[in-house]
Amino acid sequence: MIDLKSLHATGMTGLRARLFLLRGGILLLFGVLFFRLWYLQVIHEERFRQLAENNRVRTIAVQGPRGVLYDRYKRVIASSRPAFNLTVVPDDLLDLDAILQLFKGHLDLDLEEVKKKIESAYPYASLALKRDISRQELAFIEEHKIYLPGITLQIQPLRYYRYNDLAAHALGYLGEISEHQLKAQSDGEYRMGDMVGQYGLEKGLEPFLKGMRADRLLEVDALGRELRLLRPEQFIPGHSLSLTLDVDIQQAAEELLAATGKGGAVVTLDPNTGQVLAMASRPSFDPNLFAAGVPRKIWAGLVTDKKHPLQNRALQGLYPPGSVFKIIMATAGLEEGVIRPDTAFFCPGSFYFGGRSFRCWRKRGHGSVSLHRALVESCDVYFYQLGRRLGIDAIAKYSHLYGFGEPSGLGLDHEKGGTVPSTSWKRQRFHQPWYPGETISVAIGQGYNQMTPMQLAVMISAVANGGKVYRPYLVKRIETPEGRAEKEFEPELRWRLPVNPQNLEFIRKALWGVVNEPGGTASKARSKFPGVEVAGKTGTAQSIGGEKYGMKGIETEDHALFVAFVPFDKPQMAVAVLLEHGGHGGSAAAPIAGAIIERYFQLHPLPGMPKPPELGVIPDFSQRTLTTPGVRGPRPKVAPPSRKILEERDVGPEEAD
Distance of CA 477 to the CA centre of its chain: 19
State how far the Cα of 431 lies from the Cα of 418, in Å rounded to an integer: 19
* Single-letter code of the amino acid located at 622: S
3-state helix, strand, coil in the chain (%, to 5): 40, 20, 40
Ramachandran category for residue 344: left, alpha or beta (phi over 0 → left; psi -120 to 50 → alpha) = beta
State how far the Cα of 88 lies from the Cα of 82, in Å rounded to an integer: 19
DSSP string spanning 366-387? -EEEEHHHHHHHT-HHHHHHHH
Distance of CA 144 to the CA centre of its chain: 40
State how far the Cα of 599 lies from the Cα of 614, in Å rounded to an integer: 10
Exposed / middle / buried, residue 575 (Cβ in 10 Å: 0-12, 13-18, 19+): buried
**Catalytic residue (one of 79, 242, 281, 323):** 323
State how far the Cα of 342 lies from the Cα of 574, in Å rounded to an integer: 28
State how far the Cα of 200 lies from the Cα of 175, in Å rounded to an integer: 12
Query: Do the beta carbons of residue 450 and residue 418 sit within 8 Å?
Result: yes
CA triplet 542, 545, 546: central angle to 5 degrees? 65
Which residues does 456 contact at the CB level (< 8 Å), separation at least 6?
Answer: 267, 321, 324, 561, 563, 576, 578
Total Cβ atoms within 10 A of residue 109: 17
DSSP string spanning 46-84? HHHHHHHHHHHEEEEEEPPPPPPEE-TTS-EEEEEEEEE
Query: Do the beta carbons of residue 322 and residue 444 sit within 8 Å?
Result: yes
Residue 375: HSE in the Cβ half-sphere, 13 Å Cα cutoff? 28
Element (H, E) at 101: helix 96-103
Residue ranges of E strands in 94-183: 127-130, 151-161, 173-176
Residue ranges of E strands in 318-422: 344-347, 350-353, 356-359, 367-370
Comparing CA positions, the residue from 412, 454, 478 lying closest to residue 200 is 412
Distance of CA 313 to the CA centre of its chain: 10
Known catalytic residue at 527: no
501-516 helix and 326-336 helix, angle to the nearest 10 degrees: 150
State how far the Cα of 75 lies from the Cα of 177, in Å rounded to an integer: 29
DSSP string spanning 415-458? ----B---HHHHHHHHS----HHHHHHHTTT-TT-BB-HHHHHH
State how far the Cα of 615 lies from the Cα of 607, in Å rounded to an integer: 20
Comparing CA positions, the residue from 152, 202, 154, 156 lying closest to residue 177 is 202
Query: Do the beta carbons of residue 387 and residue 329 sit within 8 Å?
Result: yes
Q: List active site positions.
A: 323
